[in-house]
Amino acid sequence: MYRCPVCYQKLFFDNNVYRCINNHNYDISSKGYVNLLLANQKHSINPGDSKEMILSRVNFLKLDYYSFLRETILNTILKYFLNNNLLFADLACGEGYYTNYLHSQLSLKKNVITYGIDISKYAIIEACKKKKEFHLENINYCVGNLMNLPFLDQSFDCLLNCFALFEQKEFLRVLKDKGLFIRILPDTYHLYELKKYLYDNVILNETKEKNVLGLKLLDEIHIHQDIFLKNYQEIYNLFTMTPYYYKSKKESIDKLAKLKSLQVRADFILLIYQKCL
């Protein structure tokens, strides 16, 4: 499914190397991923989420507070795909919490091939670690840019995009006709209690325009669950994996550090689209 990020020709895999007809080649790293992010697509030396943010996400997500979201995504995919073959991509897959789980569960019922892409090298390394730990096959990870996806046109039956930028033109390009696009966004009261400790005036989340040219909205699913964070480390891990980590003042962070526990609402919206012909 990969295309060369330089010349856009199909990449062929041979002897642990992806190569196009113009002899641009990309090695599989020792960690198990391929780097298809060009130097001119970077805005920093190590773009995307930092090593600290990724570690916080790994430590938080392994507690499975967000497992109810994983299950909802899985059930949504199974609802709309009744045939046995599925080409699936997680765009901005992060550390692979959703990607690896969905692939493992879908593989029990279907012939599924999965691709995960993220601009953060640290995130992809963590995703590959879990892939190896769970002995997953037919799942491929790459470092790449959502604005210039290294995939061939109309490659995938289903795309997933969790809490990340929506690059309409590129997403539609790589999605097959009548393919499914699942977008996950924070709903109105997501992490409201956490934000109350950080900001004097809490702004509720607002879902942006749901109508997208080229996509038909099939369904809108709202789910939430109250979770109890048992200690400051859990609170800090959640905080560090959110955008608030960059936006909060020191005094707000210091205030948060005094908490020994916190009940907070995880509130999500799933928008289910189908690509129009």
pLDDT of residue 142: 98
pTM score: 0.95
pLDDT of residue 141: 98
Q: How far apart are the first and last CA of the chain?
A: 21
pLDDT of residue 43: 62
The per-residue pLDDT string of the chain (277 residues; one tens digit each, 9 = 90 and over) reads 999 999 999 999 999 999 999 999 999 999 999 999 988 766 666 668 889 899 999 999 999 999 999 999 999 999 999 889 999 999 999 999 999 999 999 999 999 999 999 999 999 999 999 999 999 999 999 999 999 999 999 999 999 999 998 999 999 999 999 999 999 999 999 999 999 989 989 999 998 778 999 999 999 999 999 999 999 999 999 999 888 888 888 888 888 889 999 999 999 999 999 999 7
pLDDT of residue 252: 87
The domains found in the chain, sorted by start residue, are: 12-275 (3.40.50.150)
Measured N-to-C along each axis, helices 97-106 and 121-133 cross at an angle, to the nearest 10 degrees, of 30
Q: Any bridge partners for residue 225, and if so which?
A: 266
DSSP string, 166-232: --HHHHHHHEEEEEEEEEEEE-TTTTHHHHHHH-SSPPPP-------TTEEEEEEEEEEEEEEE-SH
Rg, C-alpha atoms of the chain: 19
